Every structure is written in structure tokens, then in C-alpha cells.
Amino acid sequence: MWNTHWGLGIRLVFVCILLVTMAHECAGGGNLTTASCYEQERLALLKFKLHSIKDDHGMLSSWGVSNDCCTWERVGCDDATRRVVSLHLGEKVREDKLLDRVGLLVEDSYLVGGSINSSLTELVSLKHLDMSGNDFQRSRIPKLIGSLKQLRYLNLSGACFRGNIPHEIGNLSNLKVLDINSSPYDSQESMADDMSWISGLSKLEHLDLSGVDLSRIQNLDNLLYTIPSLFTLSLSACGVSMAHLGSRHPNSSKELSKFKHLDLSENDFRGQLPGLILNMTSLSFLDLSKNNMSMVWSFENFINMIPSVSELRLSGCWIQNINFSPTNLNFTTHSTIQHLDLSFNEIEGIFPFVLTNMTSLVSLDLSVNKLNSSIPAIPYLNKLDISWNSFRQIEDVGIWRQCHLQELIVSYNYLEGERLAH
Ligand SMILES: *[C@@H]1O[C@H](CO)[C@@H](O)[C@H](O)[C@H]1NC(C)=O
Ligand SMILES: *[C@@H]1O[C@H](CO)[C@@H](O)[C@H](O)[C@H]1NC(C)=O
Ligand SMILES: *[C@@H]1O[C@H](CO)[C@@H](O)[C@H](O)[C@H]1NC(C)=O
Ligand SMILES: *[C@@H]1O[C@H](CO)[C@@H](O)[C@H](O)[C@H]1NC(C)=O
Ligand SMILES: *[C@@H]1O[C@H](CO)[C@@H](O)[C@H](O)[C@H]1NC(C)=O
Ligand SMILES: *[C@@H]1O[C@H](CO)[C@@H](O)[C@H](O)[C@H]1NC(C)=O
Ligand SMILES: *[C@@H]1O[C@H](CO)[C@@H](O)[C@H](O)[C@H]1NC(C)=O
Ligand SMILES: *[C@@H]1O[C@H](CO)[C@@H](O)[C@H](O)[C@H]1NC(C)=O
Ligand SMILES: *[C@@H]1O[C@H](CO)[C@@H](O)[C@H](O)[C@H]1NC(C)=O
Ligand SMILES: *[C@@H]1O[C@H](CO)[C@@H](O)[C@H](O)[C@H]1NC(C)=O
């Protein structure tokens, strides 16, 4: 009898402690009410909607409809804690991108804002913030973004920011993805004068600074050597040259071997392959388009130097026939290139035969050159683009040799009246 009472009593006490703890947590943890989001976070989101941005396209029309901000569109909450963990405020690009019924071009929707309101810093658990494609009207990226300490993903690409990138971003030590790509529309409007803050991002894996003017930076090498986890780096149209990335580093072969994806297009590299790429032994994607690679080098040697690369883009590099004159005959064994872009170059006359020995090739883009004769069969090729060349007759293309292709694009040649594409 006594035992039963004691047992019940202990259980009651336990239940009470549990209830008190829960009540305490609910009151103390930011005014959470049952099955709703945190009041403070709800108000912060509404403040952002009403005072920071203009929402002419009704992207945030569901915000404020219910009291539970976790049910609002573009807001993601943690199921257990009900904290806001993600905001997907990227421009909503219409999937169809077609004319609507009255014949008007359907506009993409986006937000317009003067600044990101400080209210967002109240979202203390925010991990994923996507503001891409909105129009922040050439304001600076606010420093306060550095206080969103839990961020893993930050996308500010194409959002019309300008001015210096705030060093405070270096405080986001959990960040894995940082995308501030501002090319092509606002290229060089943003800039950085110093990159030492980047070393604070020790978990970063993906960095895109394309279109950010980095030409004045002395310590750009930090980007390559100080972040142990970084494997995707895009620095397209950053005003970067050999002088920025050419300096040697004691452990470079080890540190550079982690890179898989490198975009250095539209910069000021000249003539030769930037030497440090040779130490990027895991590289599978390399884009050097729109650099002036016109100095005499051999394409084969070039390919042999980057044996791991499977996608190579050399569009608009002023490449000429002389770059394809053969030097090594053992080239076949080395090549792993599947996708090769040689569009917008100076290749004229006969097809560069050295490419026929690239048995790994799956797609080849030779559009916008001056080829006019004899395309040979390239055994494993699926896709060939030779549009905008100088072919006069369909016989010159050698189309009967190309039956294995899934896609052949020959439009915009001088072929009499013919326009082929399948
Ligand atoms: C949350 O509760 C505290 C005290 O319980 C109160 O002072 C505060 O104003 C409340 N905050 C909101 C946003 O309602
Ligand atoms: C943020 O919103 C508040 C209103 O809640 C407003 O007073 C303030 O000016 C805004 N700040 C910025 C930087 O837009
Ligand atoms: C950032 O957003 C843009 C536009 O929505 C998208 O194309 C891009 O892939 C995003 N970047 C990353 C790293 O997810
Ligand atoms: C945030 O970054 C700035 C500039 O890099 C620095 O001065 C500041 O101490 C940092 N704050 C915190 C809390 O780490
Ligand atoms: C080079 O690597 C060694 C051994 O891994 C390390 O002790 C040293 O600090 C590294 N040096 C630099 C400059 O990173
Ligand atoms: C490549 O790595 C080797 C070995 O660590 C080093 O001696 C050389 O300087 C590196 N080259 C470049 C361009 O970083
Ligand atoms: C590219 O470089 C070559 C050789 O250095 C030079 O003759 C040519 O004018 C350059 N082309 C452009 C467009 O800069
Ligand atoms: C291929 O050519 C390179 C450079 O001429 C040479 O070092 C290498 O031994 C050759 N490889 C084969 C398999 O013949
Ligand atoms: C093909 O192009 C080469 C190099 O530009 C030129 O010399 C040749 O005359 C052209 N042939 C024809 C048939 O147009
Ligand atoms: C292609 O490779 C074969 C054998 O490996 C060689 O005999 C031939 O010269 C090569 N052709 C070109 C254009 O490099």
C-alpha cells in the first residue's frame, strides 16, 4: 500500500517537473505557442516584408496570412524546434518563360529592396538564405549578415549589390556555400580590397565570386590555400591575372589537389596555362574561356597537363590552327575529356584532326569558327556543333560520316538554303 503511494507520488513529482520544465522552455525560448512558429521570428519576417523590400510581384503574399510563419511560402522551419531555418527568396523564374495569353512576356518575380533589414538577424537558427536574383538597387551587402552565425548556405547572386564585400562575412564559420556571383549584368560593381577574411570560412566548399572586381587584391592566393574544404571555385570576370595567382606556396601540390571545379573565364590570363592548375590533380571541370590563349602552344601538350579534366571550356580564347599541330602521338591514352568547348575561336579550313584521336569525347562545340571542309567521324561523339562556320555545301560537312551522332548542329553556315538541326 505505502509502496504504491510512494510510487505514484514519485511519478507525479516526475510529471510535474517535466511539465514545469516544458512550460519554462516554452516561455523562455521565445514565446512559442503550440504548433506555431516563434512570435519573435514571425514579427521579424513581417518587419522584413513591410520595411525592407518592395514585393510588387506578390512573392510573399502568403506571409502574414496565418500566425504560423512555418506555413508561409518560402519559409522553412525545423520540425522539432519550429525555428525558421531557411528562407528561399530567390527570384522565381517562370518555368515556361513563355508569352502569356495576351501575348505579353511573362515577367519573373523578384523583390526590390534598399537593404536587408536588421530584423533578419533575429532568425537565430537560419541555415539557408537565398536572396538570388532580387534587386537590391546597388546597395552594399549589409555587414549584419555576418551575425547569422548558423548559416550554411548564402546565395546573393545576381542581386544587384555593389561596393565592397563586407569582411564580416568571414564570421560565418559554418558556411559551406557562398555565392556572390554578379556576372554578367552587374559585373565589377562589387569589389573586394582584401580577402584575408576568407580564412574564417574554414568549412567552405563552394565559392562563387564571379563578376566581383578582385584586381586590387594582393593576397588572392588565400582563396586557394587557406580553406581546406573548398573544391568549387568560380572567379569568372574578376579582373584576375597571373600576377594574382602565380605566386608559389610551399605545400601547393597538396593544397591544390582538392579542387574539382575551377572557372577562370573572362579574366586576363595570357598565353600559357596558369601553372598552379598543374597541381590541381583532381580537377574535373576547367573553364578558361575568354582569356587570350593565342600564343603558340600545342593543344596536345595542354591536354596532357590536365589529365583529370573531363569538361574543358576554351571558348573565345583566340585559338588558331597552329595550336593543333601534332607533337605527341600518344595523346589518345591520356585524354579523359568528354565535353570540349572550342567555340568562338580562330580555327579555319580543315577540321583539326588531332581531335579525332580523343576517344573520350562525347560533345564537341566548334561553333563560330571558320571551318569549311571534311569533318571526320569521331567514334564516341554524341553531339557536334559546327554552326556559324564557313561550310558551303552539305558534302563538305561529310554528313554521312556523322550518323552515330545524336545531335548535329550545322545552322548558320553558307549552305545553300539549307538549315539542318536534329
Ligand atoms: C516574449 O515574452 C516576454 C516575457 O515572457 C516578453 O517580455 C516579450 O515581449 C515577448 N516577446 C514577444 C515578441 O512577444
Ligand atoms: C528596418 O525596419 C524598421 C522598421 O521595423 C525601420 O525602422 C528601419 O528603418 C529599417 N531598417 C533598414 C536598414 O531598412
Ligand atoms: C544561386 O542562385 C542562382 C539563381 O537562383 C542559381 O542559379 C545558383 O545555382 C545558386 N548557387 C548555388 C551555389 O546554389
Ligand atoms: C566579425 O567580423 C569583423 C570584421 O572581420 C570583426 O571585426 C569582428 O570582430 C567579428 N565579430 C565576431 C563576433 O566574430
Ligand atoms: C605544409 O605542410 C606541413 C605538413 O603537413 C605543415 O606542417 C605546414 O604548416 C604547411 N605549411 C604551410 C605554409 O601551410
Ligand atoms: C606544384 O607543386 C610542387 C610540389 O609541391 C611545387 O614545387 C610547385 O611549386 C607547385 N607549382 C605551382 C605552380 O604551384
Ligand atoms: C592576344 O595575344 C596575342 C599575343 O600576345 C596578341 O597578338 C593579340 O593581339 C591578343 N589579342 C587580344 C584580343 O588581346
Ligand atoms: C607519351 O609522351 C610523353 C611525352 O613525350 C612521354 O613522356 C611518355 O612516356 C609517353 N607515354 C607513352 C605511353 O608512350
Ligand atoms: C577553306 O578555308 C581555308 C582557310 O581559311 C581557305 O584557304 C580555303 O580557300 C577555304 N576553302 C574553300 C573551298 O572555301
Ligand atoms: C592518332 O593516333 C594514332 C595511333 O595512336 C596515330 O598513328 C595518329 O597519327 C594519330 N592522329 C593524329 C591526328 O594525332
Q: Tell me: do 8 and 74 sit in the same domain.
A: no
Are 224 and 253 spatial neighbours (Cβ–Cβ below 8 Å)?
Answer: no
Q: Which of 268, 288, 294, 345, when mutated, tests ligand 7's pocket best, judged by the most ligand atoms within 8 Å of its CB?
A: 294
Instruction: For the chain, state the CA radius of gyration.
Output: 28
CA distances (Å), origin 152, targets 149, 295, 338, 348: 9, 42, 32, 48
Distance 293 CA to ligand 7 centre (A): 8
Same domain, 67 and 21: no
- Tell me the DSSP string of 27-59: HHTT-B-TTS-BHHHHHHHHHIIIIIEE-TT-T
Atom 4 of ligand 3, nearest CA residue: 132
In ligand 9, the atom with minimum distance to the C-alpha of 372 is 1
For atom 4 of ligand 7, the residue with the nearest CA is 295
For residues 17 and 67, state if they share a domain.
Answer: no
Judge whether 287 lies within some domain.
Answer: no
**Closest C-alpha to ligand 8, atom 14:** 330
Which residues have C-beta atoms less than 6 Å from ligand 10? Answer: 326, 329, 332, 353-354, 357
* Same-domain status, 22 and 64: no
Which residue out of 143, 149, 171, 194 has the highest number of ligand 4 atoms within 8 Å of its CB and is therefore the one to mutate? 171
**Ligand 4 binding pocket includes 170 (Cβ within 6 Å):** yes
Residue 379's domain comprises 293-422
Which pLDDT score, from 0 to 100, does residue 135 have?
Answer: 85
Question: What does the pLDDT profile of the chain (422 residues) look like in tens digits?
Answer: 445 455 555 555 554 455 444 444 444 445 555 568 999 999 999 999 988 888 888 889 999 999 999 999 999 999 999 999 999 998 765 544 444 444 444 456 677 776 666 788 999 999 999 999 888 888 889 899 999 999 999 999 988 888 899 999 999 999 999 999 988 766 677 888 888 899 999 999 999 999 999 999 887 888 888 899 999 999 999 999 888 886 667 777 788 999 999 999 999 998 777 778 888 999 999 999 999 887 778 888 888 888 899 999 999 999 999 888 876 555 555 678 999 999 999 999 999 888 888 889 999 999 999 999 878 888 889 999 999 999 888 777 877 777 888 999 988 887 765 544 44
Q: How many domains does the chain have?
A: 3
> How many Å separate Cα 328 from the centre of its chain?
36
Q: Which residues form ligand 7's pocket by a CB distance below 6 Å?
A: 292, 294-295, 318
Please say which residue of 173, 193, 213 terminates a domain. 213
Same domain for 133 and 2: no
> Under DSSP, is residue 66 helix (H, G, I), strand (E, B) or coil?
coil
